[in-house]
Amino acid sequence: MSAPPPTGPRLTPRMWLTAFLGIARRETLRFVNQRGRFLAALVRPLVWLFIFAAGFRAVLGLSITPPYQTYVLYEVYVTPGLCAMIQLFNGMQSSLSMVYDRETGAMRTLLVSPFPRWFLLASKLVAGVIVSIIQVYTFLAIAWFWGIEPPPIGYLAVLPALLLSGLMLGAMGLFLSSAIRQLENFAGVMNFVIFPMFFASTALYPLWRMNESSTLLHDICAANPFTHAVELIRFALYARFDLLSFSVVSGCLILFFAGAVFMYDPAKGLWARRKGGA
């Protein structure tokens, strides 16, 4: 009789929790030790809020656009888009660490652990989103002193939207990082992805204004996942729910995360191609 196939160690709930907390602690320590990263995450949206928004206020007049019940100043309109911009940059920077860990061999050690790959990637993703949410609430606190005051309930209602949009943008970064083999190449890919997604969205101007300029640009912005992340945050800040944005962001999250899990599979994705190339 043949011997039964070997089985891996039985993973208890405590082991799952310990693994998640270990990954989250590593991401938190990396964030704490990189104080410039926190400041850089705030400088970009604050420059847009304090300088560009002040200059564009007289040029870009805004009509009544949902979820707003009246005319709003331009800096009020761009605030949700700047919150999403913080999460977009944070998701890409968090994915940059994946490329670095792959070059140093730390990620290979992580992926050969007995925990499933989806759990390890999801743990890193959630840890990165927690960091981005801290950055967003810090930005909203500064914006409040600037006179941008959504309803008090909005600060609580926006939390699930920030979580979902952060997961989607972080999963997109993970998916992109799986196809990049060298750390030097990631900066170019970040610029190629971040700036088109940010400018071709409703972060800075509403869809109806883009439709006045170009129908093609309007359609591109309407299909941009970042647009729906912005609108999800915008509606949530005013305690309203946008079903279309929720559906698009949720669908993109599933698609990007499934692609990242596949690409990081040694038998199917990046590692299989590298082995074959060798």
Confidence band of 139 (pLDDT split at 50, 70, 90) = very high
Q: Decide if pLDDT at 39 tops 90.
A: no
pLDDT given for residue 3 in this prediction: 45
Confidence band of 5 (pLDDT split at 50, 70, 90) = very low
C-alpha–C-alpha distance, residues 157 and 238, integer Å: 8
> How many secondary structure helices (H) and strands (E) does the chain include?
13, 0
Structure tokens that stand for 255 in this block = 């698609």
Q: Decide if pLDDT at 99 tops 70.
A: no
3-state secondary structure of 149: coil
Per-domain residue ranges of the chain:
13-264
Q: Decide if pLDDT at 1 tops 70.
A: no
Structure tokens that stand for 37 in this block = 């990263």
- For the ranges 89-103, 144-158, 258-272, the one whose mean pLDDT is highest: 144-158
Half-sphere exposure of 171 (CA within 13 A, CB side): 25
Q: Is the sign of the CA dihedral 30, 32, 35, 37 positive or negative?
A: positive
Question: In sequence order, which ranges of 34-104 are alpha helices (DSSP H)?
Answer: 35-47, 53-56, 74-104
Indicate yes or no: pTM above 0.75. Answer: yes
Q: Decide if pLDDT at 272 tops 90.
A: no
